[in-house]
């Protein structure tokens, strides 16, 4: 599974590589489906892209959710 950083480790964000931040929630079924896909992408592109995974439902990550303007999560093709 991808690394979960709460809050993101400064070294993960201070890199010359592009950073992909994946927000998820434990209750999100689509996030569970995407997790193995994201892990495969991380393995494939680790030398080119820095991957960071954050639990968007965790109160400690509210500032990151706000900073990245995460406004919703999809569940069964519905915006919640």
Spot the catalytic one: 5, 21, 28, 52. 28
What Å distances lie between residue 24 and 16, 29, 47, 52, 75, CA to CA? 24, 10, 23, 11, 12
Spot the catalytic one: 5, 21, 31, 52. 31
Told to judge if 31 belongs to the known catalytic residues of this protein, a careful annotator would answer yes
Told to judge if 61 belongs to the known catalytic residues of this protein, a careful annotator would answer no
CB within 8 Å of 12: residues ≥ 6 apart: 3, 5, 19, 50, 52
Write out the catalytic residue numbers: 28, 31
């Amino acid at each position: 599974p991808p690394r979960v950083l709460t809050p993101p480790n400064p070294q993960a964000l201070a890199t010359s590589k592009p950073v992909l931040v994946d927000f998820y929630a434990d209750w999100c079924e689509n996030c569970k489906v995407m997790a193995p896909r994201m892990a495969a992408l991380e393995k494939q592109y680790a030398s080119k892209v820095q991957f960071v995974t954050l639990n968007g439902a965790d109160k400690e990550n509210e500032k990151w959710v706000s900073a990245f303007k995460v406004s919703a999560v999809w569940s069964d093709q519905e915006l919640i």
